[in-house]
Amino acid sequence: MKQKAITKVIKVNKETKEKMITFYQDMYRDKTPPYAIFQADTGDTIVTLYNSGKAMFQGVGADIEASLWTSITKDQELINDFIDNKPKKKEKEEINLPINISSIGSDEVGTGDYFGPIVVTASYVTKENIPFLTELGVKDSKKMTDETILNIVPKIIKKIPYKTLILSNKDYNKYHNEDMNMNKIKAILHNKVLYKLTETYQDYDYIVVDQFEPEKSYYNHLKETDKIVKNITFITKAEDKCLSVACSSLISRYIFLKEMDKLGDKYGIFLPKGASNYVEDIAIKLINKYGFKVLNNIAKLNFKNTERIIKYKDVK
C-alpha cells in the first residue's frame, strides 16, 4: 500500500535552527519560499524552515523527520536551563595572530561525512604569499562553494607547499575502535603532515592547528609517536584567522571532492556529502546492488547511520 503524504509543523528554538541549517545544507532546493531560511528535499520529505522558527515537514516521512527535531529542541532547552544555572567559568582568551606572518597550518575534511575518506593537509604560507592568497579570496572551505574550490585550488597548489594524507574508508574502519577514536585518528594525521612539512621548511613564525579538542588531549593521543611536532598554536576556527590553515582547508576539500567523484564513478552512483537521510537512501541502494560489504569501502561504519541502515527492512 502506498504511504500517504502528511504535513507536520513544529516550532524550533535558535540552537535547533542552526543545527537544521547545517544538517540539510546538502539537500537545499534552488528556490526558497518567502520568509524561509531554506527548503530541502530529503527524498521522502520536503523540509521548510522559516525565519520565525516554524519548521514544516511535508511527505511520507514528515512525522518521523519532525519528531527528530522536536526531541532535539527539548533536549537543548534542558541543556540551556542547566547552563544558565551553572556557575560561569572564565572564558579562555581568544588568540589573535599577527597578520604579516609566515606559518604552517593544518586542517582536515571528511570527518563529518558518512561517505568518503578523511583528508588532512598542512600548508606553508610565507609573508610573501599573503597578497597572492588574498587576491584569490582564500578563506575557509566551508564558506566557499565546491565550484569555487575546484577553480582556485589548482592555482594554490602550484605556488603553496603542502603535504596531504588521505585515510581511506577501508583503513578508517580498520583502525577505528575504542582505543582509536576519531580525535586520535585526526591528531595522528595532523602530526604526520605537520612533521613532513616542518622537515623541509623551518622559516616560519607559527605552527597552527584548527583546534578540535584541548591541547593536552591532542598530545596525549600522540604519546606512542616518536616524531611529534611541538610548539603548536591551537586556535578554534583557525581557518578564519590563519592563511596557512585556510589553504589546508581548501586543499583538503579539493582532494576530498576528487576522491568522492572517484568512488562515485567506481560504483556508478552519486555519493552525497554529510550524514543525512538521503545519504542512508544511497547506502541502501548500494547494499542492494553490491551487498553490505560495500560500505566498508565507501563509508565510516561507526557512524549512527549504519545502525539505522541495518534496521531498514528493504536492505537485502
- Determine, yes or no, domain membership for 188: yes
Note whether 192 and 247 are same-domain residues: yes
- Determine, yes or no, domain membership for 256: yes
What is the side-by-side order of every strand in the sheet holding 45-50?
6-11, 54-59, 45-50, 36-41
Note whether 293 and 162 are same-domain residues: no
- Determine, yes or no, domain membership for 93: no
Write down the pLDDT at residue 163: 98
Note whether 128 and 248 are same-domain residues: yes
Tell me: pLDDT of 67 over 70.
yes
* pLDDT band, residue 93 (cuts 50/70/90): low
- Determine, yes or no, domain membership for 40: yes
Note whether 114 and 257 are same-domain residues: yes
Write down the pLDDT at residue 81: 59
Write down the pLDDT at residue 3: 60
Note whether 144 and 54 are same-domain residues: no
C-alpha cell at 176: 577505528
Domain that holds residue 172: 103-261
Question: What does the angle CA 181 – CA 186 – CA 191 come to, to the nearest 5 degrees?
Answer: 130
Stretch 219-241: mean pLDDT: 92
Place of cell 540539510: 24
Distance of CA 243 to the CA centre of its chain: 19
More confident residue, 139 or 14: 14
Residues 279 and 290: their CA atoms lie apart, in Å, by: 16
Count of domains for the chain: 3
Note whether 207 and 306 are same-domain residues: no
* pLDDT band, residue 86 (cuts 50/70/90): low
- What residues pair up with 233 in beta bridges, in sequence order? 208
Note whether 230 and 300 are same-domain residues: no
Helix (H) or strand (E) holding 71, with range, is: helix 62-85
Instruction: Determine how β-strand 36-41 pairs with β-strand 103-109.
Output: unpaired
Tell me: pLDDT of 313 over 50.
no
What letter does residue 299 receive in the DSSP assignment? B
- Determine, yes or no, domain membership for 241: yes
Q: Which of 261, 282, 302 is the last residue of a domain?
A: 261
Report the predicted TM-score, pTM, of the whole model to 2 decimal places.
Answer: 0.70
Note whether 112 and 213 are same-domain residues: yes
C-alpha cell at 143: 564558506
For residue 28, CA distances in Å to 8, 55, 141, 162 come to: 19, 14, 18, 33
User: For residues 260 and 272, is the Cβ–Cβ distance under 8 A?
Assistant: no
Note whether 109 and 246 are same-domain residues: yes
Phi, psi dihedrals of residue 109, rounded to the nearest 5°: -140, 150
- Cβ-in-10-Å burial (0-12, 13-18, 19+) of 111 comes to middle
- Determine, yes or no, domain membership for 44: yes
Tell me: pLDDT of 61 over 80.
yes
Spatial CA neighbour of 128 closest among 159, 149, 105: 159
> How many CB atoms are closer than 10 A to CB 308?
13
**Plot region of 110 (φ>0 → left; ψ -120 to 50 → alpha; else → beta):** left
More confident residue, 133 or 316: 133
Q: What is the radius of gyration, based on Cα positions, of the chain?
A: 21
Tell me: pLDDT of 62 over 90.
no
- Determine, yes or no, domain membership for 1: no
